[in-house]
Amino acid sequence: MLDRHLDAFLSNLKIVRQLSPHTVNSYKRDLTGFFSFLKKENNSWDEIRDHQVREFINRERRRGLSPRSLKRVLSSIRSFFNYLTDEEIVSSNPALGISTPKSTQLLPKALDVDLVKKLLDFKPQGDLEIRDKAMVELLYSSGLRLSELCGLNLETISIKERSCRVVGKGNKVRDLPIGEKAIQALRDWILIREKISIEGTKALFLNKNGKRLSSRSVQLRVERLGKKRGIPMISPHMLRHSFASHILESSGDLRAVQEMLGHADIGTTQIYTKLDFQHLSKVYDEAHPRAKSEKHK
């Protein structure tokens, strides 16, 4: 079968490269689609050619996949063939040299400060809403990824130091500050958590049965809270982007925002926290020694 090396490749991603379960599942999903496309050909891996990879990418594009998603799929295929090459299963990588349409750099939507205030300034009703407010406060306060929030344990939060320790992409650990309002919301939740936690449960955020809250559950609860507060279509990623945008607009410190977001490449931060041209122009005019003519100095 064409996919007989898939399990070995996925194990390599998980154990050797130490990629997150979410990333490994993305590889698996992309490659399964490619395998399904190739089954009609009944090739061995060493018989796969670049035109077949190109045909698959073109088919996915016709199906409506975005340039960004196409780039990810091609990267998955390329990585798989790199693995097969390293294992001497194939002699060359047919995905090399194939390009995808350039991705338009669409920024995630950010809430303005007034909308954040509308979302968060309320008195929660009931245990679950106390938990949900703590989650949303923390997402906005510290710019966490959804997976990072779900992975938090009780001991990774320091109320005294007003900080949390998160495990990001590539199992990289970083310590993040927590704002006072988020700290208060966490204090309220931790009191509730003590009543429903099961012995031995380390997770910070629990469902009503005392088990770790799933990513999907967090998404749904955040959406529900947003609708209740009159702000539909709220997501954890939107809160992360709002955090980054507001910090950058206030401080202008791109490196600090990069560290807090856990981006390995500052180029990612530049896209993620893109400032409008008017703001950039103002900073340039005020800071650059040759921005203005002598008569304006």
Residue 101 lies inside a defined structural domain of this protein: no
Whether residues 159 and 274 fall in one domain: yes
Whether residues 59 and 202 fall in one domain: no
Residue 238 lies inside a defined structural domain of this protein: yes
Q: How would you class 143 by CB atoms within 10 Å of its CB: exposed for 0-12, middle for 13-18, buried for 19 or more?
A: buried
The active-site residue out of 133, 145, 221, 241 is 145
Q: Is 272 an active-site residue? A: yes
The active-site residue out of 169, 212, 224, 229 is 169
Whether residues 131 and 248 fall in one domain: yes
Q: Is 263 an active-site residue? A: yes
Cβ neighbours of residue 92 under 8 Å, at least 6 residues apart?
85
Give the total number of structural domains in the chain.
2
- Can you tell me whether residue 123 is helix, strand or coil? coil
Q: Is 237 an active-site residue? A: yes
Residue 169 lies inside a defined structural domain of this protein: yes
The active-site residue out of 27, 83, 140, 272 is 272
Whether residues 136 and 220 fall in one domain: yes
pTM: 0.59
The active-site residue out of 131, 240, 241, 246 is 240
Whether residues 52 and 185 fall in one domain: no
Give the domain range for residue 34: 6-86
Question: For the segment 58-75, what is each residue's pLDDT rounded down to a tens digit?
Answer: 888 878 788 888 899 999
Whether residues 65 and 130 fall in one domain: no
Whether residues 26 and 126 fall in one domain: no
| CA 172 from centroid of its chain's CA atoms | 14
The one-digit pLDDT tens for each residue of the chain (297 residues) are 446 788 889 999 999 999 999 999 999 999 999 988 887 655 677 788 888 898 889 888 878 788 888 899 999 999 999 999 998 888 899 998 888 766 555 556 788 889 999 999 999 999 999 999 999 999 999 999 999 999 999 999 999 999 999 988 888 899 999 999 999 999 999 999 998 888 888 999 999 999 999 999 999 999 999 999 999 889 999 999 888 888 887 777 778 878 888 887 776 676 655 555 455 556 566 666 666 555 544
Whether residues 162 and 238 fall in one domain: yes
β-pairing, 173-177 vs 163-167, is antiparallel
For CA atoms 219, 220, 221, 227, give the dihedral sign: positive
The CATH number that applies at residue 273 is 1.10.443.10
The CATH number that applies at residue 67 is 1.10.150
Whether residues 66 and 126 fall in one domain: no
Whether residues 260 and 132 fall in one domain: yes
pLDDT given for residue 297 in this prediction:
47
Whether residues 138 and 59 fall in one domain: no
Q: Is 224 an active-site residue? A: no
The active-site residue out of 72, 221, 241, 263 is 263
